[in-house]
Structure 1
């Protein structure tokens, strides 16, 4: 939601800026818009095998989604309490109520009597796969930014060539150059206002998701080891709330 609001503010600022220079309608050319937007979409599809582009976009959406670390903490603490009170086999009944995919996989492995080494290896492999998907999603948006700028520049060059072929006198030069610059302007706007901010959001989200994955793995291993609710809570606190933990220690 914050991205949409920020994007709207950018559009509004550019609109106000354009109003100070005359008729804003002169800044719109549907052919240039079609070239840049359609070209980026087409080249993005060409850059990935069938279905891979959709997978990268889903990874990006998952990474940028605001995940509740407190809910993860509550799930792991409740699992630790359940395991201490009723045993490891009781965890199987709680599997359907678990939201976090790594925690759910860990519970299935524990219920199947897997060793700690096996649980750690399987969860680490899944975590690594998620991280690779997040990095690929970030690279996708960065690539789309480069494509937007490149297609815009190519469109400008083509328009200049066509303008020079139709050159009939100095009176046609200024309007022709103005129209020829629109594709590169659209490409730059699309790159710097949309795609690069999206890449930055994916990178920030990936850092947050990495902390959540680490907490999920740490919590599951603590549950399997039969550690108490307090110990599990303290383990998770050092990962999910490192700043708060440092301040608490400093004030002791």
Structure 2
């Protein structure tokens, strides 16, 4: 569990609700079904037109990465690669066959299988880089779903505010309702801007960071597989891969 993300979510609620209370508006002022329909439902309507269903569903599945990002310890990964290189140096590439069953990661198993099959270094690079590129592209599409929603949401908030003010202007003959009507109109703006800047855009940025971290891990693995395929010394492999730790 990423506690920092959970803290951010709680503080977002505190910022809006607490701010409304401290300003004297109260929590009730934030509750407006019409504003909710215009902003939230409208934002989902926009993204339905903007994005294919498969991409949207993938984006929904990716939300878990915000609160439960994949654990990737580069030190541990480098140690594994070095241990594979030691096995290959001692028993040959076929000696890695027993390692395949011990690995849980699909990418790791695929790379080791390529080594065992005697695939050339350049072919290994091309095959694995295609996997990385396709996965990165699909995940970035998912992250951009939330980014796009964060762009549409404030605009829909403005639309909600304008619609609310239009309603107020139609009842200028009743001054007693002007104050509450104008306040309710601006709730839509709060929904739109708050929804975008306190939830959607941060989620998109967090997902992109998680994607980049996963790509870096796979880059380390690819470099390791290539070094093993070239028969490099395990100590040299370790030294090279530890260069990633500085970044």
Matches within 5 A, 1:106-117: 106-117=111-122
> Which ranges in structure 1 are unaligned for 5 or more consecutive residues?
244-252
> Which ranges in structure 2 are unaligned for 5 or more consecutive residues?
none
Which of 18, 24, 28 aligns to 1:25? It is 28
Matches within 5 A, 1:153-192: 153-192=158-197
Which of 72, 78, 94 aligns to 1:89? It is 94
Structure 1 residue 208 and structure 2 residue 213: aligned?
Answer: yes
Which residue number in structure 2 is paired with residue 8 of structure 1? 10
Q: Give the aligned CA root-mean-square deviation in angstroms.
A: 2.2
Which residue number in structure 2 is paired with residue 247 of structure 1? none
Task: Please give the TM-score of this superposition, normalised by the length of structure 1.
Answer: 0.86
Aligned-residue offset at 1:102: 3.0
Which residue number in structure 2 is paired with residue 250 of structure 1? none
Matches within 5 A, 1:1-252: 1=2, 2-22=4-24, 23-58=26-61, 61=64, 64-239=69-244, 241-242=245-246
Aligned-residue offset at 1:171: 2.5
Aligned-residue offset at 1:136: 1.9
Q: Can you list the C-alpha shifts for 1:58-85, whole angstroms capped at 9, x where unaligned? A: 4565585342223322321221122122
How many residues end up aligned between the 2 structures?
242
Aligned-residue offset at 1:185: 0.8
Residues 136 and 211, structure 2, Cα contact 8 Å, conserved in 1: yes
Q: Can you list the C-alpha shifts for 1:193-221, whole angstroms capped at 9, x where unaligned? A: 01111122123223323321221110111
Residues 128 and 222, structure 2, Cα contact 8 Å, conserved in 1: yes
Q: Using the alignment, how far apart are the partners of 2:40 and 2:87 within structure 1?
A: 53
Residues 65 and 207, structure 2, Cα contact 8 Å, conserved in 1: no
Q: Can you list the C-alpha shifts for 1:173-201, whole angstroms capped at 9, x where unaligned? A: 22111101111110100100011111221
Task: Please give the TM-score of this superposition, normalised by the length of structure 2.
Answer: 0.87
